[in-house]
Structure 1
């Protein structure tokens, strides 16, 4: 079984994907980390993020072990990912890896921005997780505060809006809701409530009663 979890930054899709994978005994892949790692590697080699040759070389030579790098979770890495993800050749280079991951038994949960539309359009379950920009900015702001990072909420909100526009406006594999995806707005939901709601959506989709 393949479960596709898509949505914008800080919507809660990553946390939800992990919880679902643990609950179901499936493998889990945060596909955004792939692009963050590519951006990291391009920068570390001294190239511009929009350098197609450098970005494609980084994508083709990506070491999956390096995805555990804690530096990939920061804002800088996220912004870099949004830039390299606009390069069609980079997306093509990473596509096979994502699809191979999705096919492993007994199942896999993948989260990103184009899982249900491009990477795994045949996914058994597609959930598009969203939340208002203000809520997502507050969540990200709280994360930064927890790590002792000095950043203004207004700056975080502006970054969220910029990222949304970039992800939705890219010509190749833009962030859009798949026509057969189920929407899950987490604006007013706790992590546990969002998880329960997602499990309910999955049960409904595959025809199983209850939880």
Structure 2
């Protein structure tokens, strides 16, 4: 079986197991997703979803974030960890979005990664979820599961992204990433994968037979 054949089997198995492939972060617009994703670094999505309602109520627009007091943002997001860096990045993202992109969140990876605190993982998420473009969000779940499945042999996020772009149908890649997150939380957990419950066990290279 080739990697591409295995990838297609994985896509179909996960689609059947998790029909609703959605981002677990709560947001109402593109900039809110950008902010929520920045907050999610080294923090659970559940915690971010607790913090963002108050943050978005106080700062409802890109303009409001651009003029925000950094100490106030720090206080609101403190429980997300690394709050000083994240607050500085969020305000910087808003300011650069206004100054360089007319207040509109960019729709491509190159421009998105020019924003403070935005790496390829976040940029791919925005491209996929907001703009409907083919995207590969190389987070810890995707990297771990792709290696276990035998689709990739690297833990480098960029190399994983590049490899999966070649293996996955473009129209399926973004949802595949969301489904890997769901699967990584529910079944293929890092410490003890439940291979006996896995919908991909029959063709997973690492499955315990």
Task: Check whether TM > 0.5.
Answer: no
Looking at both structures, which has the greater relative contact order when contacts are Cα pairs under 8 Å and sequence separation is at least 6? 1
More strand by share: 1
Q: Give the TM-score, by structure 2 length.
A: 0.29
More helix by share: 2
Q: Give the TM-score, by structure 1 length.
A: 0.28
Larger radius of gyration: 2
